Chains A and B, each alone.
Chain A
Amino acid sequence: MIMAVNSQQIADRQAMEKIINRYPPERRFILAIMQDLQKHLNYLPKEALKMTADHVNAPMTVIFSMATFYKAFSLVPKGRVVLKACDGTACHIKGSNVLIDEIYSCLGIKPGETTADGDFSLETVNCLGACALAPVLVANGKVYPKVTPAALRKIINEYRGQDNDSNTSE
């Protein structure tokens, strides 16, 4: 195991340990543990996967296989602001691709990517169940209905440079 070398790393480790130790050391809790870790850390660091494997006494292959299977998990840090563009049928017809292109021209990120400054991530989701509001965009859990390219630019500016760590994912 890699030794934590500075106080930040020690603190991170302790935080991860705390989350993991909330669950009984059984394999059936792997998903729940990883969801919890993802929620608190915004991604699943390698160290977190190792600690999970040790905790439930499962091989790393099992953990890694699951962590890469589910879209809800990310192995690289997600942005401070997570944009979710709905690309379900209704939003698709109502031009979600235009929004996705617009996000690319504003921020230079495609679905699954994060800006270099770590401010924004973009994900697509397959229907949020709000088809009447199509096209829908969700930014850090807040739903924006009937988004036009102009509205999109406003939303992005709203979040840009804003430094509070209000990461209410989901």
Chain B
Amino acid sequence: MKVTIDGIEIEVETGKTILEAAREAGIDIPTLCYSEAFGGQGVCRMCMVEVKTGNRKRFVASCTYPITGEIEVQTKTPELEEIRRNIITLLYRRAPNSDLMKKLYQDYSCSEVKGVDPEESCIMCRLCVKACEKVGANAISTVLRGTEKRVSTPFDEESPECIGCSACADTCPTGAIRVVEEGGRREIWHKSFEMLRCEKCGGYYSTLPVREHVTEQLELDYADDSLCPNCRRKKLAKEVAEVR
């Protein structure tokens, strides 16, 4: 199927999202809640583009809009810039402590606003929740609604589901999730975990429940090998080299 994005004609498969098609063609559309690993969420609306079919023109979230017909897409019009500037202004107001938002707020020369809570970094993109779901832990979700909405564990308590993998914090674009690693323990979401030590380099790299979880999920027998990702890579490389 043929679509035009910013005047460039592209051949795409039906069902592909506008965002994917654009990125494949090297056209950048800004996003906040999109991750290749989780697909489009349609949460942040940063990826809005203008879609023209016949004489009809409308704005859609490109990360969730599947291409099903011949359309003409614009990704950088003044109207879109204005939409994005508004989104950034609002998110900056919510999360003034986030470096990412500080940068975007400047880049887009947004009008002046004062942050609501100077300590807040979270922009409610839900990437952490997605990561937790994907890991299969389901320890965090969004709670409450409206201006009170935030990410947390049920009852703001230590969750029996949490395995301390910190996938949420690793995915978070704003560094809003607090992880403390100290004395061989990792603390996250009101819960403290004993960390695993790499048998080769001695560095801490994960938690005990993570290893159990991975073993269970992949039906692997992992038990005799506790290496950090770095040492594991080296070991693999060495094995490959020896085979050759």
Q: Which residues of A contact B (CB under 8 A)?
A: 46, 49, 59-65, 68-69
* B 23-54 contacts with A by CB, 8 A: none
* New contact pairs (18) apart from A64-B141, A64-B143, A68-B145, CB-CB < 8 Å: A46-B155, A49-B154, A60-B138, A60-B159, A61-B138, A61-B140, A61-B154, A61-B159, A61-B161, A62-B138, A63-B154, A64-B154, A64-B155, A65-B142, A65-B143, A68-B144, A69-B143, A69-B145
B101 within 8 A of A: no
Contacts of A63 in B (CB 8 A): 154
A49 to B155, CA, bound (A): 11
Number of interface residues of B (CB under 8 A): 13
Binary flags per residue of B147-161, CB closer than 8 Å to A gives 1, else 0: 000000111000101
Residues of A within 8 A of B154 (CB): 49, 60-61, 63-64
Interface of A is mostly: helix
- Let me know if B139 is at the binding interface, CB within 8 A: yes
Inter-chain CA distance A46–B154, complex, in Å, is 10
* Complex contacts, B141 vs chain A, CB 8 Å: 59, 61-62, 64-65
Q: Which residue of A lies closest to B137 (CB)?
A: A59
Q: From residue B151, how far is it (CB to closest CB) to chain A in Å?
A: 10
Contact B161 A69 (CB under 8 A): no
- Determine which of A46, A59, A65 lies in contact with B161 in the assembled complex, contact meaning CB atoms within 8 Å: A59
Chain B contact surface mostly: loop
Closest to B138 in A: A59
Alpha-carbon separation in the docked complex, A59 to B162 (Å): 12
Residues of B within 8 A of A60 (CB): 138, 154, 159, 161
Cα distance A65–B155 when bound, in Å? 10
- On chain B, the residues within 8 Å of A69 by CB distance are 143-145
The CA-CA distance from A91 to B211 in the complex, in Å, is 59
* Closest B residue by C-beta to A50: B154
What are some 9 contacts across the A-B interface (CB < 8 A)?
A46-B155, A59-B138, A60-B159, A61-B139, A62-B138, A64-B143, A64-B154, A69-B143, A69-B144
Q: How far is the CA of A23 from the CA of B142 in the complex (A)?
A: 26
Which residues of B80-131 have CB atoms within 8 Å of chain A's CB atoms? none
Give the nearest-CB partner of A70 in chain B. Answer: B145
| Most chain B beta carbons < 10 A, residue from A49, A60, A63 | A60
A60 and B132 alpha carbons, distance in the complex (Å): 13
Is B143 within 8 A of A68, CB to CB?
yes
